[in-house]
Chain A
């Protein structure tokens, strides 16, 4: 960085010469190393480096050279552009973090390409080595750039505005006015200007010499402060996200109406937890799903049949035994014991009872069916590992409002339960759950199983309405679609239970990420909109006239500088006229 004093003793002589030259330049154009922000050498406002023959570099020399390259504007800029480009593949390929099913689908669709792309981390772009390398280098570059700037700015905040340049007329924004008056008035006029500038928020310093009086003023220190705050806050966001992730956990749980979930590791369907979340870190509250509300747009209304206003009514039992009611809606998570509970999804869980040939119940429970379309045609799987001669699996469709298509297949015409229908296909054989490899409860691996009903078999699929029972093929037993409606109900609307899929999320760092983000935003506003500028007012007395000079110098983007100098001139004239009116010059 050319504007920082070098500490290399080797280059002392050269630097001395440079410093003298720099001082001469400062005196001419009013720039000063002391209060200018310390910028990278290739900032366009920095003085261009003199072409010099570089001494041979040793290891330290090369390291220093490398560091200077890394902290230069050019490299930071190139890293920024790399970051933008590197983020693009993550929007093209499905990401494990955002769309795990998409990744599986991609694997099935492109079995040959997948391993290569996966090696290149194209399905985990944002945690890939190459993406991490770019942003870590960028942040190292950023830190390397701002630390010297912070030190420098702290000094500048205490420094006085620089000496008034000898020839103000060399500056672009320069005005001059002549007034009648003696030496005393010349000095007084600069006093007035000093007060005026001070009132405008400038830091001022007087530089009087001989028959020349001048005030040097500077403002806009907030510009550099904002700039530094913005960059520090970005580092803050990165560090908070990095550390916070180790203490955060996110889990999913499916709860059927009437069921209870206890916030403990064992009770989750799935949970991702940070490295430092211990097994007993979870607050053992319990949630019971009392009911689930949903409304549908009526027939004839726009968006007819569209479901909305999903609401899970929960009863929460705190660890201390107190009981409260709460609701979870989309956009309105429920806060319990430092956790936030979100509503992710919902569906139907028909209660299914299976009896074996002896009439013993081998299964009786609500089974969660996954919605396949907006009218909640739902797909579910029943697994019966024990109690039958061979393991039994069933793949079923549930239609809340079943209608028959011309093709003979069923579909659902509405999301609400009006004409509920459950169809089941039965498979017999090995469920593949005894080998120890985890298998999804929502999928049936039919590889080692024989299909007993449905298409390609002689037996028709089982079709059930609530309350009905059908025989399983080959005399294996019976299956019942239980009617959950209270006794005396006249229709099927309450015959099937609903379930909700909840996400329980704990992340204490989120609020700090927000704080840093808002800090960055406000720093950005200051850095981009506060003008950093210097102003000088100089009065030179000769005979009976005072020659007044005004000049402004922008330090960074400053589109309104010229207007500001004009305002200063006008304001100063007004103040001087007012002063003259109060104290008329003798003999005038």
Chain B
């Protein structure tokens, strides 16, 4: 019987393959949204003359009226989500196997950080799906996870080795887990902000009477205000987790390195990200910064998160040198 770590690798690649399937199906979903709505609109207008369905109006924006639009069924999105769940189960199994093989929490080097980080991104996405329909972000989430996980599995794999001394701490469990969790939440905020920008461009185009303002699937998506509100709610949760990560990290640093703050490279970037999201929260409450400018801040914030996770881990030297790569 092969050892647990080999099983973990095999299961992980299976998960990656399934995520790739989900990515493709979600992409088809977006393509079908583009065409399906046009058909629906024509049907509505011809079938019932009284139906008020302005071209381009989304089913979300037109809520409350007597002529509530027909609830649309996105079959491809459903298949995509099912694949995401299946992929996530394999992913979870791979992570658990790795943890059992190592006899510790499976987040102690870059390969494992990528594993747990993407596991939590998908988990947050799936949990949120039970409350809010965000399947239009499926392509993005599946794509992001695919890239991060694929790159980690292909390039960052390291064998299970015992923990180095500084990592032998209960804070490894708490600090790293909450940091990964906040990455999962902030990823959703980022995706929503990107969609918000696209939607804002489309709305501007429509207001100016442009015929074809942006990709067609945007018609089936909520309006900018709703997208912004959703993005903000995720960013706020992510920000709180991030604040906790900072504090927990400081407590750990006090024990492991003899000081709670020392502007180590990773500490600096964690601080920069914290300040950027603090800026985002303020921007949303500032006249003239609400809307598109604040969305850009959310995007820059998440770009820094990814930068911190990849470039800083691999190329910058500092005390947080736990990538396991030499």
**A-side interface residues toward B, CB under 8 Å?**
39, 42-46, 48, 73-74, 76-77, 80-81, 83-84, 87-88, 90-91, 95, 97-99, 102, 125-126, 250, 297, 302-303, 306, 308-310, 329-333, 340, 342, 344, 503, 505, 510, 513-514, 517-518, 520-521, 524-525, 528-529, 557, 559
Please report the number of residue pairs spanning A and B whose Cβ atoms sit closer than 8 angstroms. Answer: 139
In the bound complex, do residue A505 and residue B236 qualify as a contact, i.e. CB atoms below 8 Å apart? no
Q: How far is the CB of A142 from chain B (nearest CB, A)?
A: 11
In the bound assembly, the distance between CA atoms of A294 and B72 in angstroms comes to: 65
In the bound complex, do residue A302 and residue B159 qualify as a contact, i.e. CB atoms below 8 Å apart? yes
Residue B247 interfacial (CB < 8 Å): yes
In the bound assembly, the distance between CA atoms of A524 and B286 in angstroms comes to: 18
Q: How far is the CB of B278 from chain A (nearest CB, A)?
A: 6
In the bound assembly, the distance between CA atoms of A330 and B258 in angstroms comes to: 9
| Consensus secondary structure, chain B interface | helix
What residues of A have a CB within 8 angstroms of the CB of B285 in the complex? 39, 43-45, 73
B 244-273 contacts with A by CB, 8 A: 244, 246-247, 250-252, 254-260, 262-265, 268-269, 271-272
In the bound complex, do residue A84 and residue B255 qualify as a contact, i.e. CB atoms below 8 Å apart? no
Q: In the complex, given contacts A81-B275, A98-B263, A302-B161, what are 19 additional A-B residue pairs having Cβ atoms less than 8 angstroms apart? A: A42-B288, A45-B285, A80-B275, A80-B278, A84-B279, A87-B268, A90-B263, A102-B317, A250-B259, A302-B160, A303-B159, A329-B165, A330-B166, A331-B256, A505-B258, A514-B260, A517-B247, A528-B240, A557-B229
In the bound complex, do residue B254 and residue A77 qualify as a contact, i.e. CB atoms below 8 Å apart? no
In the bound complex, do residue B286 and residue A74 qualify as a contact, i.e. CB atoms below 8 Å apart? yes
Residue from A91, A126, A330, A503 within 8 A of B265 (CB atoms): A91
In the bound complex, do residue B258 and residue A333 qualify as a contact, i.e. CB atoms below 8 Å apart? yes
B 67-124 contacts with A by CB, 8 A: none
In the bound assembly, the distance between CA atoms of A44 and B228 in angstroms comes to: 15
Beyond A42-B288, A521-B240, is A331–B268 a contact (Cβ under 8 Å)? no
Chain B, residues 137-154, CB within 8 Å of chain A (1/0): the string is 000000000000000000
In the bound complex, do residue B251 and residue A514 qualify as a contact, i.e. CB atoms below 8 Å apart? yes
What residues of B have a CB within 8 angstroms of the CB of A126 in the complex? 263
In the bound complex, do residue A333 and residue B229 qualify as a contact, i.e. CB atoms below 8 Å apart? no
In the bound assembly, the distance between CA atoms of A303 and B282 in angstroms comes to: 48
Residue B168 interfacial (CB < 8 Å): yes
**Minimum CB distance partner of A329 in chain B:** B165
In the bound complex, do residue A331 and residue B287 qualify as a contact, i.e. CB atoms below 8 Å apart? no
Task: Identify the interface centre among B160, B246, B279, B317: most chain A CB within 10 Å of its CB.
Answer: B279
Beyond A87-B271, A528-B240, is A44–B287 a contact (Cβ under 8 Å)? yes
What residues of A have a CB within 8 angstroms of the CB of B13 in the complex? none
Residue B177 interfacial (CB < 8 Å): no
What residues of A have a CB within 8 angstroms of the CB of B282 in the complex? 73, 76-77, 80
In the bound assembly, the distance between CA atoms of A330 and B256 in angstroms comes to: 6
In the bound assembly, the distance between CA atoms of A524 and B77 in angstroms comes to: 36
- In the complex, 12 of the A-B residue pairs with CB atoms within 8 angstroms, ordered by the A residue number, are A39-B285, A44-B287, A81-B279, A91-B269, A302-B159, A329-B165, A330-B165, A331-B165, A503-B258, A510-B260, A524-B240, A524-B243
Residue from B166, B265, B276, B289 within 8 A of A74 (CB atoms): B289
What residues of B have a CB within 8 angstroms of the CB of A250 in the complex? 258-259
9 nearest A-B residue pairs (beta carbon): A303-B161, A330-B165, A342-B258, A80-B279, A73-B286, A84-B275, A91-B268, A44-B287, A331-B169
Residue from B165, B243, B259 within 8 A of A310 (CB atoms): B165
Residue from B162, B229, B256 within 8 A of A302 (CB atoms): B162
In the bound complex, do residue B272 and residue A88 qualify as a contact, i.e. CB atoms below 8 Å apart? yes
Residue from A43, A81, A331 within 8 A of B255 (CB atoms): A331
Residue B1 interfacial (CB < 8 Å): no
**Minimum CB distance partner of A87 in chain B:** B272
What residues of A have a CB within 8 angstroms of the CB of B260 in the complex? 510, 513-514
Residue B164 interfacial (CB < 8 Å): yes
Residue from A76, A517, A559 within 8 A of B233 (CB atoms): A559
What residues of B have a CB within 8 angstroms of the CB of A80 in the complex? 275, 278-279, 282
Q: How far is the CB of A148 from chain B (nearest CB, A)?
A: 17
In the bound assembly, the distance between CA atoms of A28 and B4 in angstroms comes to: 68
Task: Identify the interface centre among A80, A91, A528, A557: most chain B CB within 10 Å of its CB.
Answer: A91
In the bound assembly, the distance between CA atoms of A308 and B162 in angstroms comes to: 9
Residue from A303, A342, A510, A525 within 8 A of B162 (CB atoms): A303
In the bound assembly, the distance between CA atoms of A330 and B171 in angstroms comes to: 13
In the bound assembly, the distance between CA atoms of A403 and B286 in angstroms comes to: 67
Q: How far is the CB of A333 from chain B (nearest CB, A)?
A: 6
In the bound assembly, the distance between CA atoms of A29 and B232 in angstroms comes to: 25
**Minimum CB distance partner of A252 in chain B:** B258
Q: How far is the CB of B287 from chain A (nearest CB, A)?
A: 5
Chain B, residues 277-295, CB within 8 Å of chain A (1/0): the string is 0110111111111100000
**Minimum CB distance partner of A311 in chain B:** B165
Beyond A80-B278, A306-B162, A505-B259, is A330–B168 a contact (Cβ under 8 Å)? yes
What residues of A have a CB within 8 angstroms of the CB of B263 in the complex? 90, 95, 97-98, 125-126
